[in-house]
Amino acid sequence: MSVESRRAKAAGGGDEGESRISSAARTVRGRIRPRPAAMESSAARTEARAAQAAGLAVVVSFVVALIAFAGRRPALSGGDGVGDVAAVVGGVVAVLVLPVAYRHTYDHPQHHWLAERPVWRRYLGVVALAAAHGAIAYMAAWAGFRIFQGTFNGLTLDALAGALATAVVGGLAAYTTYQSGARMNSYLLSNFLATYLAAGVLTSMVTTMNSHWWEVNFSVLGARDSGMASWTFNMTLITSGVVITMLAEYVTRDIQALAAYREDSPARERKGSSAMVQTRPILVCLVLIGVFLAGTGLVPVDFYMPAHNSMATAMAGAYTLLVLFLPWWLPGLSRTFHVTGFAMLGGAILAVILWFPLGYYNMTAMEFFVAGVILAWLVLLIRNVAAALEDAQRDALWGLMRDQGSEP
């Protein structure tokens, strides 16, 4: 079988499959040989646009803060202080910059599929990413100025100094958000998800009005008597669920590329042949995890507890199913990864047993451990798929070089 036919077969047949492999092969070749001028200029444009967005954000943030602080000396945090205004400005800047930056990921050869998704999924994904970036910018600025206020107790700033501090926050929010949005891939998205979930939950824990929430369970943070923390907690769960469904698409596309590269590789006969890879059940399980996580935020525990608990349990079930069957759905990943996954699943089961029936600790501790295990395993999955894809790309490149009679 020729190299061209194997490419088409691996990608699902036809010109589309051949184009996918050819595009991926060109991407791999760029890792070893000098990049084309277009790729260089594209990367340079991303940096330039990020700097331009930051510069514009600095100016606008400065003007807004100067108006907000006119005629008073605000504290670093609290009482509509510098941190409060800077947090709002940083959050708004991130929300506005993300859609513009994320649009540029469509230009990447391996991300053209993003533009082919249904319109509602594209807009939902962008809204979720924008909200998550805005929330991180808000929480980072708010927490930072809270720390500074505790360090410099009693310090107040005049309007000019406060505006300058706010401008710095706005510029940083614009630059980092643009870089994140324009370079988004499965690996960065998984790290972003972990950061966002951790920041949102910690912020809810710190700001809740119910100081005894931990005596019940995590879901109490989303109850109405927690004050604004309930809104933060529930929105974190909803947005994270949507992001996980986006991550599921990124991961399955990486797995399809991995299968195609393996089929085109001279070592395709080894264990883990692309013919054995099943992306559909992996996609379904990941999407279910995201949907059920969003559902727990949409239905707070004090609104309808049975539905809330059922969705949380179903999410854990989808994770369990994915860990157990992944060696058959996606063979070829390292044995260490699968063993680690089984060990983490066993640890999660042990955590549940320690809660009930042993009663070693309360439900909050159990939920904390299980949620951490699920999130950590998802990040490990992304990293291992990315590593396997990189190895398969290298093997495919060497095969193409040998077929063409060229030397590295």
- Mind listing the pLDDT tens digit for each residue in 390-404? 888 777 777 677 777
Q: Are residues 170 and 245 in the same domain?
A: no
pLDDT bin (cut points 50, 70, 90) of residue 268 is: low
Among 97, 184, 108, which Cα is nearest to 134's? 97
- pLDDT attached to residue 405: 62
Judged by DSSP in three states, 217 sits in coil
Q: Are residues 167 and 256 in the same domain?
A: no
Residue 24 CA to residue 349 CA, distance in Å, equals 40
Q: Are residues 243 and 126 in the same domain?
A: no
- pLDDT attached to residue 51: 97
The DSSP call for residue 117 is S
Listed residues 155, 183, 211: the one ending a domain: 183
Listed residues 144, 163, 183: the one ending a domain: 183
Q: Are residues 74 and 101 in the same domain?
A: yes
Residue with tokens 């006969």: 269
Please state the domain count of the chain.
2
Q: Which two tokens stand for residue 9?
A: 């077969």
pLDDT at 211 over 60: yes
Mean pLDDT value across the chain: 86
Q: Are residues 8 and 131 in the same domain?
A: no
pTM: 0.83
Q: Which two tokens stand for residue 88?
A: 């709002």
Q: Are residues 54 and 16 in the same domain?
A: no
- pLDDT attached to residue 115: 83
Residue 169 CA to residue 139 CA, distance in Å, equals 12
Residue 356 CA to residue 359 CA, distance in Å, equals 5
Q: What are phi and psi of 346, to 5 degrees?
A: -65, -40
Residue with tokens 């994904």: 125
Q: Which two tokens stand for residue 349?
A: 């089961």
pLDDT at 36 over 60: no
CB-CB neighbours of 211 under 10 Å: 7
- pLDDT attached to residue 112: 79
- pLDDT attached to residue 65: 97
Domain that holds residue 79: 39-183
Nearest 5 degrees, angle CA 306-CA 206-CA 170?
Answer: 115
Residue 349 CA to residue 344 CA, distance in Å, equals 9
Strands annotated E in 179-299? none
How crowded is the C-beta side of 171, counted as CA atoms within 13 Å? 14
Residues 345-393 have pLDDT tens digits of 999 999 999 999 999 999 999 999 999 999 999 999 999 998 888 888 7
Q: Is pLDDT larger for residue 6 or for residue 104?
A: 104
Q: Are residues 147 and 160 in the same domain?
A: yes
pLDDT at 40 over 70: no
pLDDT bin (cut points 50, 70, 90) of residue 243 is: very high
pLDDT at 208 over 50: yes
Largest CA distance in the chain: 78
The whole-number average pLDDT for the span 132-160 is 94
How crowded is the C-beta side of 56, counted as CA atoms within 13 Å? 12
Among 299, 137, 295, which Cα is nearest to 222's? 299
**Quick one: what percent of the chain has pLDDT higher than 70?**
86
Q: Are residues 212 and 286 in the same domain?
A: yes
Q: What are phi and psi of 158, to 5 degrees?
A: -80, 175
Q: Are residues 263 and 367 in the same domain?
A: yes
Question: 91 to each of 12, 195, 203, 295, how far by Cα in Å?
Answer: 43, 16, 15, 25
Among 20, 32, 48, 354, which Cα is nearest to 182's? 48
Q: Are residues 6 and 105 in the same domain?
A: no
Dihedral of CA 297/299/302/303: which sign? positive
Q: Are residues 27 and 107 in the same domain?
A: no
Residues 69-122 have pLDDT tens digits of 999 999 999 889 999 999 999 999 999 999 999 988 887 777 778 888 899 999
pLDDT at 141 over 80: yes
pLDDT bin (cut points 50, 70, 90) of residue 146 is: very high
Q: Are residues 68 and 176 in the same domain?
A: yes
Among 98, 130, 101, 103, which Cα is nearest to 114's? 103
Residue 387 CA to residue 286 CA, distance in Å, equals 19
pLDDT at 251 over 50: yes
The whole-number average pLDDT for the span 249-261 is 89
Residue 3: is it exposed, middle or buried by C-beta count within 10 angstroms (0-12/13-18/19+)? middle
Residue pair 30/39 in contact (Cβ under 8 Å)? The answer is: yes
Listed residues 183, 213, 234: the one ending a domain: 183
pLDDT bin (cut points 50, 70, 90) of residue 48 is: very high
